[in-house]
Structure 1
Amino acid sequence: MLFVTSNPGKAREAEEILGENVERVDYDYAEIQSGSLVEIAEEGVRDAYGEFGEPCFVDDSGLFIEGVGGFPGPYSSYVYSTLGVDGVLRAIEDVEDRSARFDCAVAYHDGEDVRTFEGTVAGRIAQEPRGDGGFGYDPVFEVKDDDQGRTFAEMSPEEKNAVSHRRRAFESFADRYQQD
């Protein structure tokens, strides 16, 4: 199964969650500017299918911080590459509401239809980065339902994958994919 992503971390997570071999294809598909992760993923998978001509999927994820109107949201990758985690923490240092969520939209194209599957996980933004695991914003995202208040980066890959937004979206995708 082709997973079109330039992020090897996402590919590892997808393979662990889906429980099968995922072939990562590094293709820079056109990413539209939209406030909707679903729209971005759907357009991305259409572009990728046009390039490869075989069933494939993409995912688009975003970190939404409530106290700043959902920033960085669908622009999370760009914000991460320009400001980094430390820049985001500086931007929200005086913000009281640090509640946040990670959303994920997985779009699959089988040659006829585009199907989209979503997942979300609630949490909050830590005061400082913690942990050595994961990637991206994982060191500052404290998972709401974790009794120990750990960030994704403080969890093992298995622990993170058990509760992540990506897991929830990929499980919905896997349920549908196995029915076809």
Structure 2
Amino acid sequence: MRLRIITSNPGKAVEFRHALGGLGFEIEHGDEDCDEIQADTLREVVLSCLAQLRSRGLGDYALDDSGLFIDALKGFPGVYSSYALSTIGVDGILRLLDGIEDRSARFECCIGCSFRGEEFTVQGRCEGTIALRPSGTGGFGFDPIFVPNGYDETFAEMSIDVKNGISHRGRAIQALSAALKEKV
């Protein structure tokens, strides 16, 4: 069975392959254009992309949208995380938090899947804090500044196995795995 992961980020495809490979799926990376709408929730963005891709004959596929929600910034960057990363970057987020004591945040992920003609979504979440400075070379995006609760290192410092076990995307992929097991 093949499952195409629709993303322009090869790092995401690696995380999916690592987590779902044991289910017997051959994971392929696909980079399909999808106009990302401006919406209030990650799920709305994912549902819009599923609708846009529906008629393209892609077979079975999954896509995700993730965001970093920082409490002191009223949830910013949230659904605009990709834009914030490309414009102000990790350093810009740290500057926005300069002098702010409450650094609590969470990563959220929503995965949309089209499997055997049925569409569904699953979600995952990871609570944590924003570090004072970037640390680590692994991962991508905001990984160098996010420290999950219960850990003393950023996502970027963790092995992929540890990160996938606790991250927002890892948890969403676990939910996807459970949903796919029921459908196979």
Interval of TM-score (by shorter of Structure 1 and Structure 2): over 0.9
Deviation of 1:143 after TM superposition, in Å, equals 1.0
Could you tell me how far apart the structure 1 residues matched to 2:73 and 2:39 are? 18
Question: For residues 162 and 30 of structure 1, do their structure 2 counterparts lie closer, same or farther at Cα, with a shift above 3 Å needed?
Answer: same
Normalising by structure 2, report the TM-score.
0.92
Deviation of 1:51 after TM superposition, in Å, equals 2.4
Deviation of 1:109 after TM superposition, in Å, equals 1.9
Q: Which residue of 1 aligns with 2:93?
A: 88
Deviation of 1:112 after TM superposition, in Å, equals 4.1
Pick from 164, 171, 175 the counterpart of residue 178 of structure 2. 175
Could you tell me how far apart the structure 1 residues matched to 2:14 and 2:55 are? 24
Residue 109 in 1 paired to residue 83 in 2?
no
Could you tell me how far apart the structure 2 residues matched to 1:21 and 1:66 are? 38
Deviation of 1:92 after TM superposition, in Å, equals 1.5
Amino acid in structure 1 at the alignment position of 2:162:
E
> Residue 4 of structure 1 contacts residue 56 of structure 1 at CA under 8 Å; is this kept in 2?
yes
Amino acid in structure 2 at the alignment position of 1:179:
E
Task: State the SS of the aligned residue for 1:31.
Answer: coil
Residue 32 in 1 paired to residue 37 in 2?
yes
The 5 Å alignment of 1:140-155 reads: 140-146=145-151, 149-155=152-158
Q: Which moved more, 1:86-95 or 1:108-117?
A: 108-117
Could you tell me how far apart the structure 1 residues matched to 2:5 and 2:57 are? 11
Paired residues, number: 178
Task: State the SS of the aligned residue for 2:38.
Answer: coil
Could you tell me how far apart the structure 2 residues matched to 1:111 and 1:40 are? 22
Amino acid in structure 2 at the alignment position of 1:10:
K
Task: State the SS of the aligned residue for 1:22.
Answer: strand
Q: Which ranges of structure 1 fall in alignment gaps of 5 or more residues?
A: none
Task: State the SS of the aligned residue for 2:164.
Answer: helix
Deviation of 1:87 after TM superposition, in Å, equals 0.9
The Cα offsets for residues 75-133 of structure 1, whole Å up to 9 and x where unpaired, read as 00010001110011111112221100000000012364321100000100000000111
Could you tell me how far apart the structure 2 residues matched to 1:10 and 1:130 are? 20
Q: Which residue of 1 aligns with 2:77?
A: 72
Q: Which moved more, 1:54-63 or 1:4-13?
A: 54-63
Could you tell me how far apart the structure 1 residues matched to 2:34 and 2:116 are? 17
Residue 165 in 1 paired to residue 165 in 2?
no
> Residue 164 of structure 2 contacts residue 171 of structure 2 at CA under 8 Å; is this kept in 1?
no
Task: State the SS of the aligned residue for 2:173.
Answer: helix
Normalising by structure 1, report the TM-score.
0.94
